[in-house]
Structure 1
Amino acid sequence: MALPNADVLFGDSPYAPPLSKADAAVRFDELMKAIDNAPTRTVGAQDVVAAFSAGHGLDFTSQPTSAYGMLTKALDTPAITKGLSPEALASVTDALAQLKAQQPDLVKDITTSSPLSSGLVAFDLEAPAKLLTPRPTPLRNRIARRKGVGLSHRFKRITGITGSGTGGVGVFHPGIADSTQTNFAPAGASNSLYYARGPKISYAGDDQVVPYFQFSASDEVTWSAQYAGQGYQDVRQLSRTSLLYSSMLLEERMLLMGRGTATGFSGALTAPTGVTLAARSAAAGETAISGATTNVYVKVTSDAGDFGQSVLSSAANVAVSAGQVVDVTCTLPAGATGVRVYVSTGASDPGDASRWYAGRSGYNLFTLQGALPTAGVAASTVTADTSAYANGYDGILPIVTGPNSGYTRQLNAALSTQSPGSEFQTAFAAMYQAVKAEPDRILFNGSDRKQLSEALKGSSSSNYRLTVTQDQLTGVTLGDVVNTIINEVNGKGVAVEVHPWMPQGNTAILSDTLPMPDTQVSDVWAVYNVQDLMGVDWPVQQFAYESSSYWYGTFLCYAPAWNGSVTGIKLV
């Protein structure tokens, strides 16, 4: 900016004697010389910081941390408050307040939470997402899968011949003499030819028709999800992979515990009967009921595993007092994997809409203790049977607990500790006696297998012994597990296996093959599929990618009598 000329700076003034133009020029020259000789300095950012840190000559008791703080403190000093009128001081203060409200980022330090709560930081996000979903399918991996055609799979069975002791066919003594004469003509026939021969043998058999069923699962990925995930994960690929795993897992569970309603299948479970409640003092390790001071009302259903339950039973009730628990007992129908309990409380029964799911038991007793449920799944949602499905087949558990099984037993107790494994020895003997079965494996729930192993170690009658060898002096491996039960009938080892989805309280005694030659049965259990599992990508009809799985088939057991079950195992 140009300086004013000499006349403007030093010209005539009503308050001073007039100057000649020569005198004014001299004074102007002296001013310019003084300006030229003045010291110069460039003020940088560090000078500003140093000025704030030093207080800039102001008497601060604590140093400000921002420009706003510096100006605010400066306005409080006597030099400023005396030099400005009250109106001017108020105007400056108000302007600073508005500046702070409009530009908070200028009056705060930058930290991990300022000026943004999420921080001005990068995200250390690891791609892709981790798929932490268990997906074991041991039955699906083991059971034979064969090609089917048509609407159903059919086969014929010869279930007994004279002397086999099976199929309801009796026996006869085959001894004959020279004089023995036997006529094969049916009763009432005119044929009266007699020959020297023994009696004619008999047969029993049946036709088996197992219908095919369609199965499917689906998933959808919106375009926004797919495109927003670019650079992180292929969401469409994740959807397809998850759909494949889900379909396999659902089939695995059907193979284990599915129930069908078509002809020849087990059908729906009936509700438990004989429901009784007994209030008693809480024992050691139990928690007395809370949330109930009058009566407890209970209804139960028969558990069908992962796919549902029966209808509700009739209600039972009992009065409870402080310090008590309630034992719920019932009679379970054949095929039930346990009991589900629904409870409510009050001076009178509040009805199913207020009866809440309290838990499940793998045998016929459930103990109500602790805080009674007041939310969650209500009994009012159990309005129809979900234990069996028209579009489904019988899995292993319904077959080995059904009327055609070679052995069924509901223990309603813990496994024996006096003679560990005796429940299965009884089963082996009965199955051998009936059809000469020699089972290959037993499927357990993990908790029940642990109970069997603990029973072996804790039994006073067993020859179990812990031995510490020389190389274990600095470290001992604890624990042991039962992996085989020797069949005391025929000396064969029966494998003990844990199935990941087996409901607690249930075991399945299985034969993979038959112990007889020329049976024409290569595998006792088999899957027949008209179309095995496949994936379908639907045409894009909207802003989404849609996929489905599909398979069309059935599951069957050629020889149910060579399989059995022990259920109702109490959890300890």
Structure 2
Amino acid sequence: MGALAEVTNETMDLIKSSYGNDISKSITTASGLVAYDLQAPAKNLYPVYTPLRNKIPRTGGGKGVATNWRTVKSITGSGFDTSPWLPEGQRSGRMSYATAPKAANYVTLGEEDSVTFEATNAGQGFEDVRATMTARLLQKFMLKEENAILGGNATLQLGTPSAPTVSASGTGGTLAAATYSVIVVALTQEGFYNSNISAGVATTKTVTGADGQTYVLNGGSSNKSANATQAVTLGQSLVASVSPVIGAVGYAWFVGAAGSESLQAITTVNSAAFSAPLAGGRQAVSAITGDCSANPGLAFDGLLSTAFNPANSAYVSMQPTGNAGVGTPLTAGGRGNVVEIDAMLKNMWDGYNLSPTVIYANSQEIKNITDKVMATASGTILRMQQNTKEPYAVVANGVVSAYYNPFMPNGGQIIPIIIHPKVPPGTLIGWCEDLPIYYQNNEVQNVAEIKTRQDYYQIDWPVRTRQYETGVYAEEVLAIYAPFAMGIIGNIANG
């Protein structure tokens, strides 16, 4: 062993002498001979906010193609409905009922994903790729289900909007002098979130399933309106408005020379204004070929579609058009109230003796409600905090987190205002989740529920290629037993 050590040392000396001074050069991190500090597992930085899905009860036991029930809509007394008077010794007339059969068809919801064998093996020591794939798959399924509960549309067809009203006005714009043609397309909640300026209005999409079969989804847009034209001189703005379309939460505006209109704006009010040169490279109006607002047979009606349907007698109020391109915002009542919300609450009490138990709103309307309530003689409220270490601390800003309804028994009711990312700007939804106790013997355990024929289930498909394939599915319907217990305020301008 000693001889071997001497040979080794001698060998190293010979190597050093052959390289000269080069062997003394240092190795730095730039050489790349470093370890890789990878934190495991992957950090999932996306929100899974599903308040409606989390809150609405889920009930099983569904069978057949639909869940069915019968509603007693009203009971009417004999004679004058409010007069119980009888002559001595005589019998009353017979009361009558208004009844209606109701049904809600079950539909299938689903989402799939896959991971290759190589990805599974390469992920060992980092994360269980198959397990995390399934978790993310379920989360995405729930996000899509949340949107279905809110904006799913099976029956409410937007049809064809009326031709817009157009005019030229103002000074100081840079819109080129020309005669412009304007066409409008209405958008449902799904259509509003499926569409954008760069990609265009969502019409139809052909989906190829993991089984190789295809199906077609409608994106939530109406047919295109007839066009309206207006001559504009340099410096003027082109303004356009359209009669509100019931069921629409947004409008897409196509502008240009007649026959070559392209998408120029998407608004959440029924008007738009154009003062700058039109943008090129946008979706042409020729892409809109029909009404793609609903998915009959594939979808169920969500809260918005149900409330917008006139047959369901929910409260629906659209803000007036106001100045085209600006619209009409909510109105401060001057005593810490909002005029339009008060009108909704009063109408729901006068019509059905009930109140919303929650109001859902976009962040824009949360801000607008707060601005209206705080822009009163009371001014901005500052909350003072005191402790033993500091003389005081001031917390500025705040939010209206609830609204008081005076139109209820026992002095009124407090209604929470809940922010929801998929309630479109310009829209408020009031919803009575539980009927008051004086709806006696109503046999409605839940005003709305997810009725399931088969609740969430996962299928790990047989291996047919060198990848693992997984699907998450549910067979369900949103059954809304008291659709009149909802209210919508729409077409609200930002301000």
Name the TM-score class by shorter chain.
Answer: 0.7 to 0.9
Answer yes or no: is the 8 Å Cα contact 2:382–2:396 preserved in 1.
Answer: no
Following superposition of structure 1 onto structure 2, how do residues 285-324 of structure 1 map, counting pairs within 5 Å?
288-289=173-174, 292=176, 294-307=178-191, 308-324=220-236
How far apart are the structure 1 equivalents of 2:181 and 2:452? 47
- Structure 1 pair 160/499, CA: closer, same or farther in 2 (3 Å)? same
Answer yes or no: is the 8 Å Cα contact 2:164–2:242 preserved in 1.
Answer: yes
User: What SS does the aligned partner of 1:367 have?
Assistant: strand
Q: CA deviation at 1:231?
A: 3.7
Partner of 1:415: 330
How far apart are the structure 2 equivalents of 1:233 and 1:276? 58
Unaligned runs of 5+ in 1: 1-40, 50-65, 68-107, 180-195, 262-266
Measured against aligned partners, the alpha-carbon deviations of 1:190-246 in whole angstroms (never above 9, x if no partner) come to xxxxxx211211111111111111222212223333334334333322321221111
Partner of 2:394: 476
Match of 2:374 among 452, 457, 476: 457
Q: CA deviation at 1:487?
A: 1.0
Q: CA deviation at 1:374?
A: 2.2
Partner of 2:350: 433
User: What SS does the aligned partner of 2:141 have?
Assistant: helix
Answer yes or no: is the 8 Å Cα contact 2:384–2:395 preserved in 1.
Answer: no
Q: CA deviation at 1:468?
A: 4.7
**Does residue 368 of structure 1 match 2:258?**
no
Partner of 2:254: 342
How far apart are the structure 2 equivalents of 1:295 and 1:125? 60
Following superposition of structure 1 onto structure 2, how do residues 253-332 of structure 1 map, counting pairs within 5 Å?
253-261=147-155, 267-281=156-170, 288-289=173-174, 292=176, 294-307=178-191, 308-332=220-244
Answer yes or no: is the 8 Å Cα contact 1:362–1:571 preserved in 2.
Answer: no
User: What SS does the aligned partner of 1:221 have?
Assistant: strand
Following superposition of structure 1 onto structure 2, how do residues 144-543 of structure 1 map, counting pairs within 5 Å?
144-147=57-60, 148-162=62-76, 171=81, 173-178=83-88, 196-261=90-155, 267-281=156-170, 288-289=173-174, 292=176, 294-307=178-191, 308-343=220-255, 345=256, 348-351=257-260, 355-356=262-263, 358-370=264-276, 372-375=278-281, 377-390=283-296, 391-403=298-310, 404-412=312-320, 413-419=328-334, 420-460=337-377, 465-466=381-382, 468=384, 474-490=392-408, 491-515=412-436, 516-543=439-466
How far apart are the structure 1 equivalents of 2:339 and 2:16? 92
**What is the TM-score normalised by the length of structure 1?**
0.69
Which one has a bigger Cα radius of gyration? 1
Answer yes or no: is the 8 Å Cα contact 2:382–2:395 preserved in 1.
Answer: no
How far apart are the structure 2 equivalents of 1:224 and 1:480? 52
Q: CA deviation at 1:296?
A: 3.9
Partner of 2:38: 125
Residue type of the partner of 1:498? Answer: I
Measured against aligned partners, the alpha-carbon deviations of 1:7-48 in whole angstroms (never above 9, x if no partner) come to xxxxxxxxxxxxxxxxxxxxxxxxxxxxxxxxxx99955994
How far apart are the structure 1 equivalents of 2:480 and 2:15? 94
User: What SS does the aligned partner of 1:153 have?
Assistant: strand
Q: CA deviation at 1:162?
A: 1.9
Q: CA deviation at 1:532?
A: 0.7
User: What SS does the aligned partner of 1:523 have?
Assistant: coil
Answer yes or no: is the 8 Å Cα contact 1:400–1:508 preserved in 2.
Answer: no
**What is the TM-score normalised by the length of structure 2?**
0.79
Measured against aligned partners, the alpha-carbon deviations of 1:492-535 in whole angstroms (never above 9, x if no partner) come to 11221112211111111111111122211121111101001111
Kindly indicate which of the two structures has a greater share of residues assigned to helix.
1
Answer yes or no: is the 8 Å Cα contact 1:506–1:567 preserved in 2.
Answer: yes
How far apart are the structure 2 equivalents of 1:178 and 1:47? 128
How far apart are the structure 1 equivalents of 2:282 and 2:462? 39
Partner of 1:136: 49
Residue type of the partner of 2:253? Answer: V
How far apart are the structure 2 equivalents of 1:482 and 1:531? 40
- Structure 1 pair 279/234, CA: closer, same or farther in 2 (3 Å)? farther
- Structure 1 pair 260/227, CA: closer, same or farther in 2 (3 Å)? same
How far apart are the structure 1 equivalents of 2:19 and 2:140? 67
Answer yes or no: is the 8 Å Cα contact 2:386–2:393 preserved in 1.
Answer: no
Q: CA deviation at 1:304?
A: 0.7
How far apart are the structure 2 equivalents of 1:470 and 1:240? 49
How far apart are the structure 2 equivalents of 1:337 and 1:500? 14
User: What SS does the aligned partner of 2:491 have?
Assistant: strand
Measured against aligned partners, the alpha-carbon deviations of 1:429-456 in whole angstroms (never above 9, x if no partner) come to 1111111122211111111011000111
How far apart are the structure 2 equivalents of 1:237 and 1:374? 46
Larger relative contact order (CA 8 Å, sep ≥ 6): 2
- Structure 1 pair 483/45, CA: closer, same or farther in 2 (3 Å)? same
How far apart are the structure 2 equivalents of 1:473 and 1:314? 67
Kindly indicate which of the two structures has a greater share of residues assigned to strand.
2
User: What SS does the aligned partner of 1:542 have?
Assistant: coil
Note the aligned Cα RMSD (angstroms).
Answer: 3.1
User: What SS does the aligned partner of 1:331 have?
Assistant: coil
How far apart are the structure 2 equivalents of 1:259 and 1:453? 31
Answer yes or no: is the 8 Å Cα contact 1:289–1:368 preserved in 2.
Answer: no
How far apart are the structure 1 equivalents of 2:56 and 2:413? 22
- Structure 1 pair 369/46, CA: closer, same or farther in 2 (3 Å)? farther
- Structure 1 pair 517/178, CA: closer, same or farther in 2 (3 Å)? closer
How far apart are the structure 1 equivalents of 2:69 and 2:80? 24
Following superposition of structure 1 onto structure 2, how do residues 51-90 of structure 1 map, counting pairs within 5 Å?
none
User: What SS does the aligned partner of 2:224 have?
Assistant: coil
Partner of 1:20: none
**Does residue 548 of structure 1 match 2:471?**
yes
Residue type of the partner of 2:44? Answer: L
State how many pairs are aligned: 435
User: What SS does the aligned partner of 1:564 have?
Assistant: strand
Partner of 2:205: none
- Structure 1 pair 465/538, CA: closer, same or farther in 2 (3 Å)? closer
Answer yes or no: is the 8 Å Cα contact 1:174–1:199 preserved in 2.
Answer: no
How far apart are the structure 1 equivalents of 2:65 and 2:480? 18
Question: Aligned residues: percent identity?
Answer: 29
Answer yes or no: is the 8 Å Cα contact 2:382–2:397 preserved in 1.
Answer: no
